[in-house]
Structures are given as C-alpha cells and as structure tokens.
Structure 1
Amino acid sequence: MAKFLIHGKYTQAGIQGAVKEGFTAREAYVRTLMESVGGKVEAFYFAYGQEDVIVLIDADASAAAAISLAVNQSGSVELSTTPLLTAAEMDEARAKMPEYRAPGA
C-alpha cells in the first residue's frame, strides 16, 4: 500500500454538519469509510486556516481515488490528495529516468 496526504476544506454546509454531528464522530466516520475501501487512516487532524482537515492514509491508489471521488462529489468537502513517496521509491524512479529534451533544445 502507499501513503497519501489528504487536505480537506469544508464548505459552509460541511462545517455546519460537522459542528452538528461532532468532530469526534466525524473522525470515527472517516476512519470507517477508509477501512470500507481497504485502507487505513494513520493520522487525522482538524486544523484552521487554509485546510480544515488533514489526514494521512495508507491505501492503494484506487482506494485513495475512490475516497476522493465520494467525498468531493458530496459538495460538503473539497479534498486534495497528495501521493507520498519514500526515499527508496524516489531512487527507483531515478533509476527509471529517461533522457528528456527540453522544449526548443
């Protein structure tokens, strides 16, 4: 499985729902939702500022995409998902780097 960092921003309706439901309950729901697609929440934080929620998950790419699709289509939260790579994975990528010609070179 891979690691993904999810940033979430509530819409007005989303934050109203979270306030009504309670934040502990919301976190529990997200953990259950992630498990339903075969992933795991490793860390879950509420924040204020540019993001309202920051979640670190361990999942395969299709599970991460499924969560993103389900949440974003709800209209209550806008998610941004960032794949995270280890140094070893970056070395694997480095070993596969093809020759690249820049535009106009």
Structure 2
Amino acid sequence: MPRYLWQVTYSHEGAQGLLAEGGTARRQEITRMVESVGGTVESCYFALGGKDLFVIGQVPDEVAAATLGIRTAASGAARSESVLLLTPEQVDEAVRREAEYRPPGT
C-alpha cells in the first residue's frame, strides 16, 4: 500500500473545533477517516509553524488518497496536501531503472 504524508492546515472553523474537542479526539477521527477508505494511520503530530498537523499513513491507492483530500477540503475545516512517500528500497529500484532523458538546451 502506498504511504503518504498529509500536511494539514486548519481553517478558523477547524481551529475552533480543535479547541472544543482536543487533539486526541481529532487523531481518533483522522484514524477513523483513513480506515474508512481501507488505510491505516502510522503517526499523527500537531506542529507549530506553517502547517498545523502532520499525518503519516497508508491507503490502498491514489483514489483513496484523493478521496481523503477532497472530503477534508469540502468540510471547510481544513486543507491537506498529500505527499507520496518512498522507502529507500523503492528509491533503489528507481535508480536501477532506465529512462530516456535529454536535458533542456542540449
């Protein structure tokens, strides 16, 4: 299953909900959402800075990942960016594969 990093930014309404429910309740709901599309959550961390929350987990495919992003955005409470993560073994496989490439201007 593909592994993703979701970077979440709360809207004003989402932050109000977080204040009302707390972090553990939010983690529980995120886990429920990811599991509803056949995935799992590995870790969930709130953060200071440009993003409010980072979640790492696995979902069956890109459509499942898109489902999560669309549903999150449609709620108006948060926006998420999905980043596909690769293992070191997957990078090893990638560097062994051949591809034709011509740099610009050559």
State whether TM-score is above 0.5.
yes
Aligned to 1:17: 17
The correspondence of residues 1-105 of structure 1 with structure 2, limited to 5 A, is: 1-60=1-60, 61-105=62-106
Count of aligned pairs between the two proteins: 105
Partners of 1:62 and 1:43 in 2: how far apart?
21
Unpaired runs of at least 5, structure 2: none
The Cα RMSD (Å) is: 1.3
Query: What percentage of residue pairs aligned between the two structures are identical?
Result: 38
Q: CA deviation at 1:75?
A: 2.0
Q: CA deviation at 1:38?
A: 0.3
Per-residue CA shift, 1:22-80, capped at 9, x if unaligned? 22111111101110000000001111211111101011222222111110222211111
The residue type equivalent to 1:51 in the other structure is K
Q: For 1:89, what is the secondary structure of its paired residue?
A: helix
- Runs of 4+ in structure 1 displaced over 3 angstroms? none
The residue type equivalent to 1:17 in the other structure is G
Range 59-68 or range 44-53, more displaced? 59-68
Partners of 2:89 and 2:20 in 1: how far apart?
44
TM-score normalised by the chain length of structure 1? 0.90
TM-score normalised by the chain length of structure 2? 0.90
Partners of 2:74 and 2:95 in 1: how far apart?
36
Partners of 1:71 and 1:5 in 2: how far apart?
15
Unpaired runs of at least 5, structure 1: none
